[in-house]
């Protein structure tokens, strides 16, 4: 086996992967398609070098393969940011052959836009967090369909807060809807009950998974942060020390304003379109609680309100500054995590 250092670009697909091997001078030693297994990838690379620096474009399943290449073969493997890699391409054409070669070349010259490779336990936690988010979205969608059916039938709503027990009892007994609408309403209400039960089960599972997690415990000590907020932050952010500054963390969460300046025109264009939308939603909801319960953030909200800022802008600003503040609070916890 050759002991030279080689650079490997892997274009990942579910059934096969394209593997490009490059030496330090940029010469392509091999570029071929193999089966999606660590053994087949290793067999292609082994004749060319034993010191391997590899890159895989982040996508579904890529993290698991990268983890396997690191643990089983001892390779140095980085996940590449697919959006930034696409911008680097100089050709509008897309082939597995050229994609693998580009990844190998980027890791060779040190220009690879990297994505953090989360450990296995954290990736598993993300699955449960996102499963709960899907359940909540389905329940919300069904509730909207119920309200839509009531509007279609011009049902006169009773003077009770929606989705309370009394309101649901009225909904099950009202005669203001047609027979087929009644059947659909009963089906939707049954689905909502099952979804709410599944949500409770998922939340209990999340509590069990994070019972001994020092990061979650530290987050729960912050004002306004509940279990779902803490677990979502833990799952999506992972380690706070992988960010250099609070501003960088805020941009990752999608809470920083996007600059849209050109020439003499200086303007903001809303929040940046980046990050996990569910993570941003959780933080915006937290900001609404903080500006009511925490004097520090309530003062900021009041100051912005006096400047005629909209409520959505105020919530985004509070969330942005809270995340930057949290970055510094969590530094002492990073080593324990």
The pLDDT, as a whole number, for residue 263 is 64
Cα 183 to chain center, whole Å?
38
The pLDDT, as a whole number, for residue 262 is 62
Question: What average pLDDT does range 17-44 have in this prediction?
Answer: 94
Written as one string, the DSSP assignment of 187-209 is HHHHHHHHHHHHHHHHHHHHHHH
Question: What average pLDDT does range 256-272 have in this prediction?
Answer: 69
Q: Identify the CA nearest to 324 among candidates 294, 287, 292.
A: 287
User: Alpha-carbon distance 7 to 30, whole Å?
Assistant: 11
Q: Where are the beta strands (DSSP E) in the chain?
A: 5-12, 16-22, 28-35, 51-57, 76-80, 114-115, 257-259, 268-271
Q: Find the Cα–Cα–Cα–Cα dihedral 213, 216, 220, 226, rounded to 10°.
A: -120
The least confident of 48-52, 71-75, 259-263, 282-286 is 259-263
The contacts of residue 259 (CB under 8 Å, 6+ apart) are 267, 268, 269
The two structure tokens encoding residue 75: 């390779």
User: Alpha-carbon distance 109 to 278, whole Å?
Assistant: 35
Whether residue 63 contacts residue 17, with contact meaning beta carbons closer than 8 Å, is answered with no
User: Alpha-carbon distance 118 to 116, whole Å?
Assistant: 6
The pLDDT, as a whole number, for residue 217 is 94
Count Cα neighbours of 190 within 13 Å in the Cβ-side half-sphere: 6
The two structure tokens encoding residue 44: 């292609």
- The proportion of the chain whose per-residue pLDDT surpasses 70, expressed as a percent, equals 94
The pLDDT, as a whole number, for residue 264 is 65
The pLDDT, as a whole number, for residue 268 is 66
Q: What is the pLDDT of residues 134-181, one digit of tens each?
A: 999 999 999 999 999 999 998 877 778 889 898 999 899 888 899 999
Question: What average pLDDT does range 81-91 have in this prediction?
Answer: 83
Angle between helices 277-293 and 227-237 (to 10 degrees): 140
Question: What average pLDDT does range 264-275 have in this prediction?
Answer: 69
The pLDDT, as a whole number, for residue 39 is 94
What would the 3-class secondary structure string for 227-272 be? Answer: HHHHHHHHHHHCCHHHCCCHHHHHHHCCCCEEECCECCECCEEEEC
User: Alpha-carbon distance 163 to 149, whole Å?
Assistant: 15
The two structure tokens encoding residue 63: 């993290």
The pLDDT, as a whole number, for residue 274 is 74
User: Alpha-carbon distance 152 to 174, whole Å?
Assistant: 14
The pLDDT, as a whole number, for residue 104 is 95
Whether residue 125 contacts residue 209, with contact meaning beta carbons closer than 8 Å, is answered with yes
Q: What is the pLDDT of residues 184-212, one digit of tens each?
A: 999 999 999 999 999 999 999 999 999 99
- The proportion of the chain whose per-residue pLDDT surpasses 90, expressed as a percent, equals 72
Q: What is the pLDDT of residues 300-332, one digit of tens each?
A: 999 999 999 898 899 999 999 999 999 999 986
The pLDDT, as a whole number, for residue 276 is 85
The pLDDT, as a whole number, for residue 19 is 96
């Amino acid at each position: 086996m050759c002991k030279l250092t080689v650079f490997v670009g892997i274009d990942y697909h579910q059934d096969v992967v394209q593997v490009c091997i490059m030496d330090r001078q940029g010469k392509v030693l091999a570029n071929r398609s193999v089966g999606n297994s660590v053994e087949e990838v290793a067999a292609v690379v082994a004749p060319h070098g034993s010191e391997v620096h590899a890159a895989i474009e982040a996508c579904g399943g890529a993290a698991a393969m990268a983890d396997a290449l690191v643990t089983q073969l001892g390779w140095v493997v980085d996940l590449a940011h697919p959006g930034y890699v696409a911008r680097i391409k100089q050709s509008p054409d897309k082939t597995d052959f050229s994609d693998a070669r580009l990844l190998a070349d980027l890791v060779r010259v040190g220009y690879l836009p990297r994505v953090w490779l989360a450990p296995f336990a954290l990736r598993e936690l993300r699955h449960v967090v996102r499963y709960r988010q899907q359940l909540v979205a389905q329940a919300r969608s069904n509730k909207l369909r119920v309200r839509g059916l009531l509007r279609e039938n011009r049902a006169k709503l009773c003077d009770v807060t929606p989705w309370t027990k009394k309101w649901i009892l009225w909904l099950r007994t009202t005669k203001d809807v047609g027979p087929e609408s009644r059947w659909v309403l009963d089906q939707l209400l049954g689905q909502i009950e099952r979804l709410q039960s599944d949500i409770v089960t998922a939340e209990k599972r999340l509590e069990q998974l994070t019972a001994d997690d020092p990061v979650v415990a530290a987050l729960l000590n912050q004002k306004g942060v509940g279990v779902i907020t803490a677990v979502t932050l833990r799952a999506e952010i992972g380690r706070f020390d992988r960010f250099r500054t609070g501003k960088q963390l805020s941009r990752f969460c999608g809470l920083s304003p996007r600059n849209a300046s050109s020439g003499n025109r200086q303007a903001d264009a809303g929040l940046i379109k980046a990050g996990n939308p569910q993570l941003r939603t959780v933080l915006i909801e937290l900001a609404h609680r903080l500006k009511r319960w925490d004097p520090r953030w309530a003062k900021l909200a009041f100051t912005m309100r006096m400047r005629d800022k909209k409520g959505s802008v105020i919530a985004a600003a509070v969330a942005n500054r809270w995340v930057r503040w949290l970055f510094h609070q969590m530094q002492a916890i990073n080593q324990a995590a």
